[in-house]
Amino acid sequence: MDIARTPSNPDGNPEMADAATGPKAPVTIRREDYRPFAWLVPEVALDFTLGLDETLVEARLAVSRNPAAQADPVLRLNGDGLSPIEVRVDGEAVNSWVMEGADLLVTLPGNAHNVQITTRLAPSDNTQLMGLYASSGMLCTQCEAEGFRRITFFPDRPDVLSNYRVRMTGDKALFPVLLSNGNCTDTGTHDDGTHWAEWHDPWPKPSYLFALVAGDLVVNKDSFTTMSGRKVDLGIYVRDGDLDRTAHAMESLKQSMLWDERVFGREYDLDTFNIVAVSDFNMGAMENKGLNVFNTKYVLADAETATDGDYDGIEGVIGHEYFHNWSGNRVTCRDWFQLSLKEGFTVLRDQLFSQDMGSEPVKRIEDVRVLRGVQFPEDSGPLAHPIRPDSYREISNFYTATVYNKGAEVIRMMRSMCGEQAFRKGCDLYFDRHDGEAATCEDFIKAMEDGAGLDLAQFRLWYSQAGTPRVSIRMEAEGDEVVLHLSQDIPATPDQPTKQPMPIPLRIALFDRATGAHGGEQLIVLDKAQDSFRFKGVSSEPVLSVNRGFTAPVAIENQTSAEDLVFLAAHDDDPFARYEAMQELVVTHLKDAVGGNLSEQDRQTGREAIGRALAAVLADDRLDDLMRGELLILPSNTYLAEQMLIADPGAIHHERQGLRAWLGEQLEAEFVALHDRASAVPFSLDARARGARKVKTQALVYMASGNPDLAAQMAAGQYDAADNMTDRQGALMVLAGLQSAQRTHKLLDFYNRYHDNELVIDKWFAIQAGSLHPQVLAHVKALADHPQFTLKNPNRVRSLYMAFAANPHGFHAEDGEGYRMIADLILALDPLNPQTAARFVPPLGRWRRIEPGRAALMRGELERIAAADNLSRDTHEQVARSLG
């Protein structure tokens, strides 16, 4: 399941939404309390009589005692908002069942039984978008993590694996398409205008992977021949009118299937693979076996309506959900504490896929930016948790950047330590050992030890310790050697005041200052609190390039001089390290500026050093524009705040904008030339054209700060000349932050041009909410009253309010109005969609790291939310943990 993607605004936070909701309850679930379920459910048959307002569900469960579990005659079936119409055991109606809270309890005397339960659902009333719900006249499901219990009573836990047979009956005019997991085995029609379809999934799966879609849809059909010669029928189902925007998604699917065979040796295992695009969806996509359900955002694309970032997002999410077929479906999680087993591993797989499809260094930089912008703050705040948590109250709150993105980095470290071939051996062993099972993180680690030949005893600490390690480095010369003295420290996090040292792999290179060359890259592993590494045959004063390729998710504290950072920004042959040198040069300067530690002369000296490095990037004809565009992006306000014990968002924003304005003024001629050159490149989806579009808008961003009038003129020209959404949106983003007549004109033109396209109007909302315009708060309030805004669609809510919450200029308004706005949203949204509402709590939860005035206002809003009646379990847990 996908929940996090890089936003088009590099200062923003990726969207994140996933998993299940339920009634508020104080129960804490602990990993140490895991016990196998007392009953096996090898076969499940589901019979749906479909309707938008009313759907009847008849579930027939073949159950038998689990010999691996403690015997219990009571069969506990989870429910959420359900009332049984009828319960039968072995064909006979029974009345001996009882309800315990939301769960149905049936006492069974023997070792094996057939249990039949009938329930009635109201899909149109299901605003939580979990279980079975209605969306734009169609029916669809979302069951991860605990949504299946909103469809029928069932042991809704990932270690109960079943074969599913599904029969759907519905009005043929309303629901001409009937889809479920696996392969379609039969269809038919009735004289009353209804029709039916039967589906069978031969592979055992947990209930969270169940899916059903019924609606009036059109399909893009294709096929793929697997490496063993089997033909797989592919289908992408969308609403009428969207079919011509599915070509990129289909190509991404076929490339994913081919890549997974080539790189991981994983072949698809059904006759059919279908994707359905849904406009009302809490997350990015869901990997249901053979029937992936996607947010329309990650399916629909053409040059007129989708940016280059949208194309990348579709490719990555399509790959992510497809790769889950093995890392999540064929081998699933024993319990939800093991969530990173499937999600961290699959994020790594989709990252590797995307870098092979495009630019490896650019993709790596994008992934690290997401990690630093979302996961690092999570690690240093009240919601910090290990990638395998020890407890939770609401599992939907643990679909986090830590589980996904840091989880991927932890597995990437294993890959760096053992090499690609040995890593593949470990993965093969994992799949072979646990195919058809519900596994644990420990199972993966053990397979990697046995297959790759690693000793990961100490490495297991990465799974149990929260927090971002800080690695301090000091370099000195001793005779004919250079010695690196390294130490690591892992800050205290909630419930973990002290930490043990963890193995930290770091790729390094030592550059000769005179020649600009190095003698080769080396991998060192810091596995102690302190250690030293000696190197011979290098110059007495080398320049250190460390954590090349970002081999470890750590913060490096290295007192590198501005001179050496400029050197690395110009000469480092590792693209990520070159990017990192640029970032560090800016971070060091802005930290000192925000802290009041710079004289005017020092400020000028620092800016000039950054200006020289940036000028070298602009002039370097060895760089492609995709990479040049990354090197031009300043560190985000969020990342800058993470470098400070207590952050002043207003001061950070002021100093960052001041630096950008100075650079825009000093390098105006270079930015104008860059924009002119890039504008001459004709549209295509190849790397050269994509890079040109990237640097074109970055040039406007700098000029908007340095010469707003010129920037407005050039942005308006780019908007008018645009033959693609990337250029048009980039220009509008710049204009939205300026006080210019062109701003109003182009925003109105954009709306009139795309008012009937939901995904593009989402962009229109987000551009304004994320702008640096002085009146952004007033603009967001007005947009909340716009006829096209609704709280019922998660995409629309995120487009306005998540963009605003990621906008340091508006969200951190000194009078607290931005905080009140987000708190008001949470209180209004929580009764409708608790899962989405809870995702807005973390920005307020950062109050401990903010200066006292704003911190008090943020805490006050959290307390106001906490005092609300009938707060959902999702939001309640997030607020309680944020308050501490």
Active site members: 321
Query: The tokens of 496 are what?
Result: 């973990």
- Give CA 789 to chain center in angstroms: 24
Other beta carbons less than 10 A from residue 693's beta carbon: 25
- Amino acid identity, position 203: W
Q: How many CA atoms lie within 13 A of 450 on its CB side?
A: 13
Q: Find the helix packing angle between 687-706 and 649-666, rounded to 10°.
A: 110
Q: How far is CA 12 from the centre of its chain?
A: 13
**Angstrom distance (rounded) from CA 398 to CA 336:** 9
C-alpha to C-alpha distance for 81 and 149, rounded to whole angstroms: 8
* Triad 847, 849, 852: Cα angle to 5°: 65
Q: How far apart are CA 635 and CA 656, in angstroms?
A: 9
Query: Which residue has tokens 């072979």?
Result: 432
Nearest to 423 by CA among 533, 505, 364, 486: 505
Q: Residue 421: which residues within 8 A CB-CB, separation 6 or more?
A: none
Q: How far apart are CA 246 and CA 238, in angstroms?
A: 8
Exposure b/e, 365-380, CB count within 10 A at least 16 = b: bbbbbbbbbbbbbbbb
Q: How many CB atoms lie within 10 A of CB 563?
A: 10
Question: Inter-axis angle of helices 668-679 and 649-666, to 10 degrees?
Answer: 80
Helix (H, G, I), strand (E, B) or coil at 188: strand
d(CA 732, CA 655): 24
- Distance, CA of 181 to chain centre: 25
- Per the document, the length of the chain is 884
Structure tokens at 143: 């069951």
* Token duo for residue 17: 């939404």
Residue in the structure block whose two tokens are 């469809």: 151
Cis peptide before 145 (omega within 30 of 0): yes
Rounded CA-CA distance 386/465 in Å is: 5
Instruction: List CB contacts of 755: < 8 A, sequence separation 6 or more.
Output: 761, 788
Spatial distance between the Cα atoms of 36 and 437, rounded to a whole number of angstroms: 13
Phi and psi (nearest 5°) for 519?
Answer: -90, 15
Integer angstrom CA distances of residue 729 from 7, 212, 694, 733, 766: 13, 36, 11, 6, 11
Other Cβ atoms within 10 Å of 418 Cβ, number: 20
Which residue shows structure tokens 């002369």?
A: 601
In single-letter form, the type of residue at position 244 comes to: D
CA atoms within a 13 Å half-sphere pointing along the CA-CB vector of 501:
14
* Whether the Cβ atoms of residue 834 and residue 826 lie closer than 8 Å to each other: no
Structure tokens belonging to residue 217: 């849809």
DSSP, collapsed to helix, strand or coil, labels residue 472 as: strand
Please report how many Cα atoms fall inside a 13 Å half-sphere around the Cα of residue 38, on the Cβ side: 15
Q: How many CB atoms lie within 10 A of CB 491?
A: 16
The span from the CA of 380 to the CA of 385, in Å, is: 10
Q: Is 654 exposed, middle or buried (0-12, 13-18, 19+ CB in 10 A)?
A: middle
Q: Rounded CA gap, 845 and 835, in Å?
A: 17
